[in-house]
C-alpha cells in the first residue's frame, strides 16, 4: 500500500441513516428504512481517494458510527469490509454501532465473518415509559433479546446508557430503577459501558418540549443520577478510564482513545470528520487540519461517485521537496472535498491536548506537553484546581509533573476548561 509521512491508522465511517430520531439527539442523522447503495458506493470512493493520497497506514481501529450503522444490509457491510481488508492491521479493533431493534443473529454472523470484532449497542434505558418519552423506537424486551444475542455471539460488545432521562418516576424510585437496569445489563457481561449524563441541546425536540413545559427535567438530578451510576459501575469492576467510559483493564476503546490522545484519524461519509496533524521528527505538533464532510447527503453522493481516483493526487504530493511542502500540498488537496475545514494552530492544538487529556483518568503529562509544544504547563493555574480538590499532581520525575482529575473534580471539568480558555 502507498504511504506517506501523514498516513493515519484510525478510520471513522459515518452512516447517518436512522429508523427514527430520538428527541434528545443532536447528531446528524436522517430518517430512513435502510442505507442507499449509492451512499455505500460514495463511501468507498472517498476511501479509495484517501488511499490514492497515501493516507492509509495499516488501520489499527475502524469505527462505524451514526445514525444507525446496523441499518446497513449484510451485503453492504460485507462490501465495505472487503474493501478495507487489505488495510487492516493485525489485531485491528473494528467496531459497529447498533440499535437493539436492528440486532439479529444474521447481522452478528455477518459482522464476525467479515472482520468486525466489537459491537457497540445504544441501550439508554430499560424502562419502556422512559424509552417512549424520548422517542426511542425499541422496547425493553427487544433490548433484552439483543443483549442475549450479543452474549451468545462471542463478539466483544459495549453498551451505552444515559442518566437523567425524563419519564422516570419520582427521583428516589427512578434512581433505584436506573441502578437495577445497570445491574441487569452487567449480568450479560458487556466488555465496556459508556454512561452519559443527559445533555439537552438547543434545537432538539426534547429541548423544545422542556421549554414549553411539556416535559419536566432537571440537569442537577441527571448529574446526581450519573454519579450514582458511576459509583455502581466502579464497584462492579468497571474502571472509569475516561469521563463517560468504563471498562475492565484491557477492554478500553482503542478507537475513542485515539481521539482523546490527539492521534490522527480520517472520516468517511456525510457528516463524518477527520483530523490530521503535522509533526516533525522530534514529535513536535506544529499544525493540524480538520474537516467535516458535507451533511447534504445527495451532494456527498454526487461528488464522490463522480470522483476519479487515478493517482494524480499522489503525484502532486510526491512533488513536495520536503515535509512542510508536502503537508501544504496535502491540505490543499483536502480542501477540494465537499467539506467544511479548518487549520489548527499550535495554540489551539495545545488547548485541545489539555481538554482531551483531562477527560482521561491518566490526565495530561508535563513532559509530553513540552515535547509537543515546546513550552511548560502553567503549573500556577493547575495548582489552583489541585487546591480545590479537583485535580491531583502526577510526579513524572526530572522536574516534570502532570495533572489528572480527582473523582470529585470530574463533575467540574467543564468549569475548569472554561477557566483555562
pLDDT digits (tens, 9 = 90+) for 57-94: 999 999 999 999 999 999 999 999 999 999 999 999 99
What pairing do the DSSP bridges indicate for beta strands 245-247 and 192-197? antiparallel
What is the share, in percent, of the chain residues with pLDDT greater than 70?
95
Higher pLDDT, 399 or 110: 110
User: What pLDDT, on the 0 to 100 scale, is given for residue 1?
Assistant: 45
Integer Cα distance of 121 and 157 in angstroms: 7
- The pLDDT value recorded for residue 218 is 87
Most confident residue range from 37-51, 160-174, 396-410: 37-51
pLDDT (average), residues 7-31: 90
In this structure, the number of other CB atoms found within 10 A of the CB of residue 142 comes to 16
Q: What is the pLDDT of residue 51?
A: 92
Res. 321 pLDDT band, cuts 50 70 90: low
Q: Taking each helix axis from N to C terminus, what angle separates 37-52 and 297-305, rounded to the nearest 10 degrees?
A: 50
pLDDT at 311 over 60: no
249-282 residue pLDDT tens? 999 999 999 999 999 999 999 999 999 999 888 8
Predicted confidence band of residue 317 (pLDDT cuts 50, 70, 90): low
Question: What's the mean pLDDT in 293-303?
Answer: 97
pLDDT digits 0-9 by tens, 240-250? 999 999 999 99
Tell me, what's the pLDDT at 320? Answer: 55
Which of 343, 371, 356 has its CA nearest to residue 420? Answer: 356
Mean predicted confidence (pLDDT) in 147-170: 90
Identify the pLDDT of residue 169.
65
In this prediction, what percent of the chain has a pLDDT beyond 90? 73
The three-state (H, E, C) secondary structure of the chain, written as one string = CCCCCCCEEEEEEEECEECCCCCCCCCCCEECCCCCHHHHHHHHHHHHHHHHCCCEEEEEEEEEEECCHHHCCHHHHHHHHHHHHHHEEEEEEEEEEECHHHCCHHHHHHHHHHCCCEEEEEEECCCHHHHHHCCCCCCHHHHHHHHHHHHHHCCEEEEEEEECCCCCCCHHHHHHHHHHHHHHHHCCCCCEEEEEECCCCCCCHHHHHHHCCCCCCCHHHHHHHHHHHHHHHHHCCCEEEECCEEECCCCCCHHHHHHHCCCCEEEECCCCEEEEEEECCCCCEEEEEEEEECCCHHHHHHHHHCCCCCCHHHHHHHCCCCHHHHHHHHHHHHCCCCEEEEEECHHHHHHHHHHHHCCECCCECHHHHHHHHCCCCCHHHHHHHHHCCCEEEEEEECCEEEEEECCCHHHHHHHHHHHHC
Model pLDDT, residue 2: 47
Amino acid at each position: 500500500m502507498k504511504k506517506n509521512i501523514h498516513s493515519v491508522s484510525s478510520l471513522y465511517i459515518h452512516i447517518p441513516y436512522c429508523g427514527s430520531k430520538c428527541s434528545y439527539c443532536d447528531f446528524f442523522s436522517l430518517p430512513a428504512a435502510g442505507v442507499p447503495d449509492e451512499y455505500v458506493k460514495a463511501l468507498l470512493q472517498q476511501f479509495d481517494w484517501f488511499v490514492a493520497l497515501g493516507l492509509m497506514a495499516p488501520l489499527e481501529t475502524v469505527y462505524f458510527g451514526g445514525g444507525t450503522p446496523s441499518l446497513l444490509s449484510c451485503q453492504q457491510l460485507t462490501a465495505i469490509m472487503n474493501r478495507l481488508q487489505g488495510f487492516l492491521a493485525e489485531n485491528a479493533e473494528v467496531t459497529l454501532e447498533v440499535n437493539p431493534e436492528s440486532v439479529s443473529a444474521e447481522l452478528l454472523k455477518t459482522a464476525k465473518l467479515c472482520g468486525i470484532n466489537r459491537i457497540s449497542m445504544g441501550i439508554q434505558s430499560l424502562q419502556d415509559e422512559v424509552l417512549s418519552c424520548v422517542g426511542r423506537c425499541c422496547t425493553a424486551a427487544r433490548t433484552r433479546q439483543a443483549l442475549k444475542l450479543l452474549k451468545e455471539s462471542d463478539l466483544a460488545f459495549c453498551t451505552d446508557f444515559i442518566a437523567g432521562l425524563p419519564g422516570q418516576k419520582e427521583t428516589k424510585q427512578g434512581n433505584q430503577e436506573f441502578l437495577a437496569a445497570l445491574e441487569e445489563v452487567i449480568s450479560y457481561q458487556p466488555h465496556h459501558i459508556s454512561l452519559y449524563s443527559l445533555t439537552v441541546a438547543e434545537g432538539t425536540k426534547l429541548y423544545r418540549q422542556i421549554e414549553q413545559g411539556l416535559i419536566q427535567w432537571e440537569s442537577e438530578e441527571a448529574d446526581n443520577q450519573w454519579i450514582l451510576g458511576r459509583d455502581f459501575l466502579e464497584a462492579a469492576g468497571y474502571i472509569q478510564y475516561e469521563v463517560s467510559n468504563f471498562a475492565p483493564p484491557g477492554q478500553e476503546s482503542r478507537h475513542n482513545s485515539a481521539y482523546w490522545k490527539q492521534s490522527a484519524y480520517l472520516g468517511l461519509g456525510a457528516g463524518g470528520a477527520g483530523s490530521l496533524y503535522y509533526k516533525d521528527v522530534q514529535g513536535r505538533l506544529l499544525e493540524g487540519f480538520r474537516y467535516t464532510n458535507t451533511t447534504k447527503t445527495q451532494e456527498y453522493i454526487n461528488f464522490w461517485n463522480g470522483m476519479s481516483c487515478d493517482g494524480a493526487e499522489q503525484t502532486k504530493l510526491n512533488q513536495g521537496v520536503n515535509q512542510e511542502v508536502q503537508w501544504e500540498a496535502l491540505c490543499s488537496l483536502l480542501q477540494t472535498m465537499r467539506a467544511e475545514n479548518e487549520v489548527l494552530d499550535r495554540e489551539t492544538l495545545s488547548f485541545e491536548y489539555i481538554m482531551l487529556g483531562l477527560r482521561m483518568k491518566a490526565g495530561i503529562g508535563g513532559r509530553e506537553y513540552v515535547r509537543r509544544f515546546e513550552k511548560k504547563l502553567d503549573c500556577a493555574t493547575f495548582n489552583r484546581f489541585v487546591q480545590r480538590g479537583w485535580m491531583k499532581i502526577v510526579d513524572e520525575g526530572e522536574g516534570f509533573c502532570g495533572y489528572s482529575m480527582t473523582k470529585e473534580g470530574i463533575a467540574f471539568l467543564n468549569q475548569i476548561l472554561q477557566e483555562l480558555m
